[in-house]
Structure 1
């Protein structure tokens, strides 16, 4: 007697198709969205989605894409821009690498067509500039989580745009960038200061104690604050952090004092 049920059988079929994707590429496009979602998850986890095949698995209702293991470029982002329901996307570079194939042009195309984005992660996408981030913040007003760690092309303008336009922002990571105290002040001068819960700004060599002070004094709901590896931060920040600790809101704080 067969006891497995339909779902396990379907999952096995999807796994088989994913393993032999090139053999079935001409038959993928007509598949229903729920099966495509399963394929996207399997293929992306193994880095098998690329510019040449992503259009076959996409559908208008896609809501989440994790492409950090995949070799994609602005070409893929142009195709993803057809998925207007998209809420989360991760195009981080692989660990220890930089991603140069994604630029502000691709990010802008994505942002202009996907206004429901709430989570975007672009870690070490070094060819994204303030121009691309400005497009994201103007078009995606529901952003809650933004990861710009290692995006060496951004500057204070990106933080200012986040502060001005993203009123629901809860978590921002701009570690290993060249932002300055002015950028941090611009970020927390916006309405997102009331919603921010996590700020990560490690290894920012231009930040000083002022940046720490801006965050602590402007963001009443902050509970994760990480700024280790910032060589211009001094012992003066210890006093600021002690004030913050008295509120008992901190869950995690990590820093280095030089």
Structure 2
């Protein structure tokens, strides 16, 4: 193992006691501090206000407790590509309001990857706003949120979406049909719909017909699926699918 550089040693030392002087540092050092502090869960709204900058590409605060104030400040990171927000149980499901989450796409049109799992502030309006602002979105995680089929209709317009996690939501066969009949049908590679209690065999049939490039499909714990879905799953497994999970009731 190579010895740590003097710069890395200094960053380690400085990261032990966050300070307003972070705001004066070059963006490359801010990135190193962000990497260390976010993984330690030591970033809050104040610290992030010192470290956000226009060259930032990825922000992963899943281990940190932040508020809507940070979402408001995200416009400083105008070139942000990836955003991962904290999830329950680290924060309450109601921690972020719908109005604060509507800001996620605002000022960040280059977002490619967004994770908002488990947050009840993630509504159809939030998804629609995100789709309207971030047309290059490739990966979206919104499991265990109160979205409906209206959100899937909006997502159907995205032509670059390759990975979608809508597990444990109240979407129905109608929403899945709308989703796969849009541009997403050709681009989707990974889909999680496990725990979606309203889905039936019709959704699995639609996915098999329209999403021919799927490599990961999870639909376990969907109580309305029958042996028909099992048959379709076996057919998918014989193709290029790398991961396939299901439960038949």
Q: 1:81 aligned to 2:75?
A: yes
Structure 1 moving runs of 4+ over 6 Å: none
* Alpha-carbon distance change, 144 to 250 in structure 1, aligned in 2, over 3 angstroms: same
Map of 2:31 onto structure 1: 37
23, 26, 33: which one pairs with 2:20?
Answer: 26
146, 158, 163: which one pairs with 2:151?
Answer: 158
Structure 2: how far apart are the matches of 1:241 and 1:190? 22
* Alpha-carbon distance change, 99 to 39 in structure 1, aligned in 2, over 3 angstroms: farther
In structure 2, runs of 5+ residues without a counterpart are none
Structure 2: how far apart are the matches of 1:59 and 1:97? 25
223, 234, 238: which one pairs with 1:231?
Answer: 223
Verify the 8 A CA contact 1:200 1:226 in the aligned structure 2: yes
* Alpha-carbon distance change, 239 to 161 in structure 1, aligned in 2, over 3 angstroms: same
Q: 1:172 aligned to 2:164?
A: yes
Map of 1:16 onto structure 2: 13
TM-score for both structures, normalised by structure 1: 0.91
Structure 2: how far apart are the matches of 1:199 and 1:237? 15
Q: 1:257 aligned to 2:248?
A: yes
> How far does residue 79 in structure 1 lie from its aligned partner after superposition?
0.4
Matches within 5 A, 1:91-170: 91-94=85-88, 98-151=92-145, 153-164=146-157, 166-170=158-162
Structure 2: how far apart are the matches of 1:209 and 1:96? 35
Instruction: Provide, for residues 61-89 of structure 1, a one-character-per-residue CA deviation record: whole Å limited to 9, x for no partner.
Output: 11100011111121111101221100000
Structure 2: how far apart are the matches of 1:224 and 1:34? 36
Q: 1:182 aligned to 2:199?
A: no
TM-score for both structures, normalised by structure 2: 0.95
Map of 2:210 onto structure 1: 218
> How far does residue 97 in structure 1 lie from its aligned partner after superposition?
5.8
User: The residue matched to 1:172 in structure 2 has which SS?
Assistant: strand
**Which one is further off, 37-46 or 12-21?**
12-21
Instruction: Provide, for residues 120-170 of structure 1, a one-character-per-residue CA deviation record: whole Å limited to 9, x for no partner.
Output: 01111121101011000011011110001111x211111111112x11000
RMSD: 1.6
235, 242, 257: which one pairs with 2:234?
Answer: 242
Verify the 8 A CA contact 2:189 2:216 in the aligned structure 1: yes
